[in-house]
Structure 1
């Protein structure tokens, strides 16, 4: 196994739970020596499932244009009496400037159709929730604000406000908030103890300095509608500097909610190329909003599930390659867990907005990248991390030998070790792959920088080169010397998807705190939070080693235990965690199998003994004594969880092969009998690491 010296040093300092002697050997001599097959939530190996018949895409993705629309609200039909006629004129005059926008959006893609449909269905909210007098005053206020925003002069003094009064019903307030912002995109609404206050949207005025009024109105309508999977496209633009300014404004003001991309228009004149800026919501950025869309039916997204087989390929590299071939972005893929690089791995994946037929069309192309996709079928939802029962492992350990200064029979040592771990388990450390292969920088160091909101430092750590002189490290070295993101991007090999995405953002926004925040947003949420989790994982490893060294297998006062006898998942609520009392320690009520330790986060409790003190000392050492485990700038929240300190392999079987058993086949390999080898198979629960289990068996850092 290729393992760097720093990782070996880090893991060699961690203690064991078993006292057998162990043995030495080599794993991952080739990818075929380490086969990982995901076990889904039904307990099935994902490589064994049979392809399901492909369903018609239209059965899960109805065409928006076939959905009947409600008639548009006829402004002239609103009844006003006496002085109310002036308000009608005002409201009609303010609406006229939106007519060309409506005409353009009605002929745009279905995403804009849905926005208009939602707007039309809300148009009577004003009449049902506001009386005529308030409607009249709101229309007048809106027109006055729009005239001020469209004027050349800067707004001075406090921003004018207009109160709609108190509305006690929460759902009615939500409907009115949205209806106002849809009708008047140049206004914003705020809530104050049930009261709705309307004022000028100053960001609208800023955007109008960069794009037309029509585009600004359309963008803010799009932004408020929050239609999942929809897009908004600005008009074609031939000026690169101007496009860069628009990108910068949108990402600075709304980068946490949306992402922007530039695309060349089809059939453009080569002498005068036009490029359009397209805006789409970031994945999950608006799924958990407090004010759901109450009266607009959500369009069902298209998801295609498949099993991915990859060989000797990093997980994120595989996803980047698939995204490139399918014309989507890496965040459109979801998966239940990360898999090893130097291995043959099988795992379930789901991709958004790609049909099963389209995925089948790239099968031959990706074979060259040592990937295969099968079990392709439409599904209704994406996967989430942890949505699996565990993993099955088929592993070959080669070059077996005794530990140094051990004179016992090797076969006896191997049998003893396997039986010990079967019956007593192994320490449930996070494995080396959790922290990357880097000798100089590992993922937990990047996570620590993110938790301290040191964005520039985190990016530079990510782009820190190793000592080797390959193209990737030469490019990284050039960046640290020059901070020339554009030049580094041209040097960075195309297969390094993540590095190129970061460099592209740094070129657009600069190597500043703000620019580095945008660079991190070029990663999907699951990848950003991965670095934070890496830091928490490192601390957990050290904590459990300290706990076992300090107290051994005794359950002592102040320990945390899980009240359920067996815990199959990593994430479970604090209500299932109990603090051991002095009386319970004396009565030996709990066993070491029930002891858990917290994985760092904002919603955990610490042990009330020396281990708890150790946690606080470590956080103080790393400058996190007041850390809330939230990174607002990157939309990262780490609530924390609890993890059992011991785990057990399931269905463990083994077979020794010596020189007389030559040519025994495993997947893609042939074992010759030059030395003694061990074939070992077992299942592990999700979030457990085979390398950690093998380390406990062999008493040797693998």
Structure 2
């Protein structure tokens, strides 16, 4: 289950596997009307895990979070397991010397401070202590030969292509050697294979020396190797715009995943190319000055699945670099935000998405009534008929509307389609499509679309709109064009970026499932797909698939609940029947007939997966509720006019949506 779903099912047609009439009702009028409890891999509800204080190692404490709906953004999580790891700051082990960057340069505030540094590692073992005299001299001569070969442009065969330092078994010594060699000889690079360190010529250094001085090239590569977060490197002032552009392009091409560049004017009316690390590249070393500065500290959470926002949910989580003791101390302040913390324990591994057996739901449906055109039976008969049918026949395993975002004007699947077609400017504008309200977020989006003033829109956004702010900062720096928008999308974490593409793929799956049921019903057909192995029967795995043969169809060898449909991607197989043809025609309508589902520019790859067409609610039970008296009535008891609510309890497999199950039961928008 995912987030709130108080909207009509608008991402798949009204195809159902059951033929009952259904009834009407409403959900989530109160957070307590929708309670979701995660089921861990051992089959236990995470809010019922026992705590044993006798032994921390054999039976560690647990942590439980109960999240209630709040208006402001908060953690949508419940049950946590804490990884016991101290959040300590490493000792200072770097020296930074300020270089000549003009502090009054216009636009320098974009880099947050005006300190541009060239960095050298301190307290790192030197080559004198790591290599004997003979090997050090051989290494020095090899470095000289490399430089001579570049300068003389002589035949490569006249010079050795690499130099081996021999087998070094101690991993710590190898690490020190890698660092020391790169710092002393930036013209060289080192590799290790089975404990042997091999030194080669650094081609990036040679290419950079064609653009800047050898001194600058050495300084830049040392700066890269030090990786001190917050440090910057400035090349010499340069009045040639085209030459500066070549430097920008070279660094972006060779080191774009690590650093970014920007030009600033200096007092002599030239410009300085400044390089800094991306925020995601943490420092190996920190200075005392860095320690004293105020920094934003982020804690990593890992979890097995996303839960509903407008609900009470219980979920296991692992929090990195926060000790159980510290989390217990924070419990009271966390509770003020609607989150209850309990059952804290230490954990040796983070959680992964899908690492659960499913979710248990306790749901109250209110305002029950018959459909407006239903005059043939009373309400109780309709409810009983619907529940029993779905218990027996299951429901179509659609992705719920939560998968496609909460907005009315624009949905995430449209952004995903634009990304797949590499229409990156269009994707940005879709991303900033506002809703029809005067909230600050929508005002900022409207302003941006009207003016393309990224900096102005950034100032209008509330702090909690993280994605929007990250994207606008990049657009302000690189411009609103194909390249700038590409950098903008890359500024958003991969886990967020891929959601838009997955939303489009999910929409196609929903349409395919609807087409499959309309075309063939629940009969297994020649060309359908099933998992070839029982172990691959999880919908999140690709696994090997088997194509149902005509003989197997005639023999009724398989049932409809074994049939799977592919989620589009580069590593899936389509059904060998009309459904497979439908996939190709549907993708062609969206201009994706030649799509490889690999987007190197956006660092996105979509392998695809398989998902069962049908799923079933497990252990489904229900009772009626008299709202006025607040008394429950069993399913066999007479239902009076005052009974307007229905209590339901069941659990679903991972990646199944309770709202979709309810849609099959009720046959109405909820």
> Aligned partners of 2:540, 2:208: CA distance in 1, in Å?
43
- TM normalised by structure 1 equals 0.70
Give the corresponding residue for 1:19: 19
From 220, 234, 239, the equivalent of 1:216 is 220
Q: 2:18 matched to 1:49?
A: no
1:411 aligns with one of 380, 386, 396: 380
Partner of 2:102: none
Gaps of 5+ in 1: 67-99, 108-115, 149-154, 224-230, 263-274, 284-297, 299-324, 666-672
Mapped to 1, the partners of 2:220 and 2:462 lie a distance apart of: 38
Question: How far 1:161 sits from its partner (Å)?
Answer: 11
Q: Does 1:643 align with 2:647?
A: no
Change (3 A) 1:127 1:586: farther
Specify the alignment match of 1:386 in structure 2: 354
- Provide the residue aligned with 2:540 in structure 1: 571
The within-5 A match list for 1:192-231 is 198-201=202-205, 216-222=220-226
**Aligned partner (choices 587, 597, 601) of residue 555 of structure 2:** 587
> Which secondary structure does the structure 1 equivalent of 2:580 belong to?
helix
| Contact 1:256–1:634 (Cα < 8 Å) also in 2 | no
Alignment CA distance shift 1:441-1:205 (3 Å): farther
- Alpha-carbon deviation of 1:618? 1.0
Does structure 2 retain, via aligned residues, the 8 Å contact 1:326–1:359?
A: no
Contact 2:413/2:501 (8 A) holds in 1: yes
Contact 2:85/2:320, CA 8 A, preserved across alignment: no
Does the 8 Å CA contact 1:222/1:232 hold for their aligned counterparts? no
- Give yes or no for contact 1:163–1:198 (8 Å, CA) kept in 2: no
Deviates more, 1:156-165 or 1:412-421: 156-165
* Equivalent-residue separation in structure 1 for 2:467 and 2:258 (angstroms): 19
Map of 1:682 onto structure 2:
650
Q: CA separation in 2, counterparts of 1:397 and 1:405?
A: 20
**What's the CA shift for 1:222?**
4.5
- Residue 162 of structure 1 contacts residue 197 of structure 1 at CA under 8 Å; is this kept in 2? no
The aligned residue for residue 184 of structure 1 is 185
Residue 491 in 1 paired to residue 488 in 2? no
1:593 Cα deviation from its structure 2 partner? 0.9
**1:637 CA displacement:** 1.2
Q: Tell me if the contact between 2:395 and 2:616 (Cα under 8 Å) persists in the aligned partners.
A: yes
Q: How far apart in 2 are the matches of 1:541 and 1:171?
A: 56
Residues 276/346 of structure 1: CA separation in 2 closer, same or farther (3 Å cut): farther
CA–CA distance in structure 1, aligned partners of residues 397 and 535 of structure 2: 14
Q: Does residue 598 of the first structure (1) align with residue 566 of the second (2)?
A: yes
Cα displacement (A) at 1:251: 8.5
Q: 1:364 and 1:279 mapped to 2: Cα distance?
A: 35
Change (3 A) 1:143 1:564: closer
The answer to whether residue 492 in structure 2 is matched with residue 523 in structure 1 is yes
Aligned to 2:320: 352
CA shift for structure 1 position 353:
3.5
Q: How does 1:96-495 map to 2 (within 5 A)?
A: 104-106=120-122, 116=124, 135=139, 138-144=142-148, 164=161, 184-187=185-188, 198-201=202-205, 216-222=220-226, 232-234=229-231, 252-253=252-253, 257-258=257-258, 279=278, 281=280, 327-329=296-298, 332-407=300-375, 408-495=377-464
Cα gap change, 1:650/1:145 in structure 2, threshold over 3 Å: closer, same or farther? farther
Tell me the secondary structure at the aligned position of residue 530 of structure 1.
helix
Which residue of the partner structure matches residue 74 of structure 2? none
User: Which residue of structure 2 aligns with residue 658 of structure 1?
Assistant: 626
**Does the C-alpha gap of structure 1 residues 163 and 537 become closer, same or farther in structure 2, counting only changes over 3 Å?**
farther
User: How much has 1:205 moved relative to structure 2?
Assistant: 5.0
Change (3 A) 1:690 1:138: same
TM-aligned CA deviation for residue 413 of structure 1:
1.3
- Report the Cα offset of residue 137 of structure 1: 5.3
1:209 positional shift: 8.1
Would the aligned equivalents of 1:37 and 1:46 in 2 still touch at CA under 8 Å?
yes
CA–CA distance in structure 2, aligned partners of residues 531 and 628 of structure 1: 17
Higher relative contact order (CA 8 A, sep 6+): 2
> Deviation at 1:375?
3.6
Return the offset for 1:9: 4.0
Partner residue in 2 for 1:556: 525
1:381 positional shift = 2.9
CA, structure 1 residues 662+390, in 2 after alignment: closer, same or farther (shift >3 Å)? same
Is the alpha carbon distance of 1:554 and 1:157 closer, same or farther for their aligned partners in structure 2, counting shifts above 3 Å?
farther
Q: Please, what TM-score do these two structures have when normalized by structure 2?
A: 0.73
Shift of 1:578: 0.3
Separation in 2, partners of 1:56, 1:450: 36
> Structure 1 residues 158 and 383 mapped into 2: Cα distance closer, same or farther (>3 Å)?
farther
- For the residue of structure 2 that corresponds to 1:450, the secondary structure is helix
Q: 1:277 to 1:563 in 2, by over 3 A?
A: closer
| Correspondence 1:695 to 2:663 | yes
Question: Counting helix residues as a fraction of each chain, which structure ranks higher?
Answer: 1
Return the alpha-carbon distance in structure 1 between the equivalents of residues 154 and 527 of structure 2.
58
Q: Provide Cα deviations, 1:637-679, integer angstroms capped at 9, x if missing partner.
A: 11111100001111211111125642779xxxxxxx9651011
Secondary structure of residue in 2 paired with 1:676: strand
Q: 1:515 to 1:374 in 2, by over 3 A?
A: farther
Consecutive unaligned residues in structure 2, runs of 5 or more: 52-59, 63-80, 93-116, 193-197, 239-243, 263-273, 285-293, 634-640
Alpha-carbon spacing, 1:280–1:659, altered in 2? closer, same or farther (3 Å): closer
Post-superposition CA distance 1:474-502 (Å, at most 9, x none): 11000001111111111112222222222
- In structure 2, the CA distance between the partners of 1:351 and 1:207, relative to structure 1 (3 Å rule), is farther
Summarize the Cα distance change of 1:563–1:189 in structure 2 as closer, same or farther, 3 Å threshold. same
Give the number of aligned pairs. Answer: 573
Post-superposition CA distance 1:494-537 (Å, at most 9, x none): 22222222222222332232322232233322111111111110
Question: d(CA) in 2 for partners of 1:591 and 1:65?
Answer: 63
Corresponding residue number in structure 2 for 1:320: none
- The 5-angstrom pairing of residues 86-97 of structure 1 reads none
CA RMSD of aligned residues (A): 4.9
Partner Cα separation in structure 2 for residue 161 and residue 497 of structure 1:
56
Q: For residue 583 of structure 1, report the CA deviation from its aligned partner.
A: 1.2
Distance across 2 between alignment mates of 1:538 and 1:143: 57
Q: Which residue of 1 aligns with 2:241?
A: none
Whole-angstrom distance in 2 between the partners of 1:276 and 1:47: 49
**1:223-282 C-alpha deviation (Å, 9 max, x unpaired):** 7xxxxxxx5442699x9x9xx99x9889934676337799xxxxxxxxxxxx99555656
Equivalent residue for 1:608?
576
The 1:637–1:256 alpha-carbon spacing in structure 2 relative to 1, beyond 3 Å, is farther
Structure 1 residues 372 and 401: alpha-carbon distance in aligned structure 2, compared to 1, 3 A threshold: same
Greater mean alpha carbon deviation, residues 424-433 or residues 377-386: 377-386
1:539 aligns with 2:540: no
Any conservation in 2 of the 1:563–1:594 contact (CA below 8 Å)?
no
The offset of 1:617, in angstroms, is 0.6
Q: Give the whole-Å Cα distance in 2 for the aligned partners of 1:337 and 1:156.
A: 58
Instruction: Flag the 1:531–1:163 CA change in 2: closer, same or farther, 3 A.
Output: farther
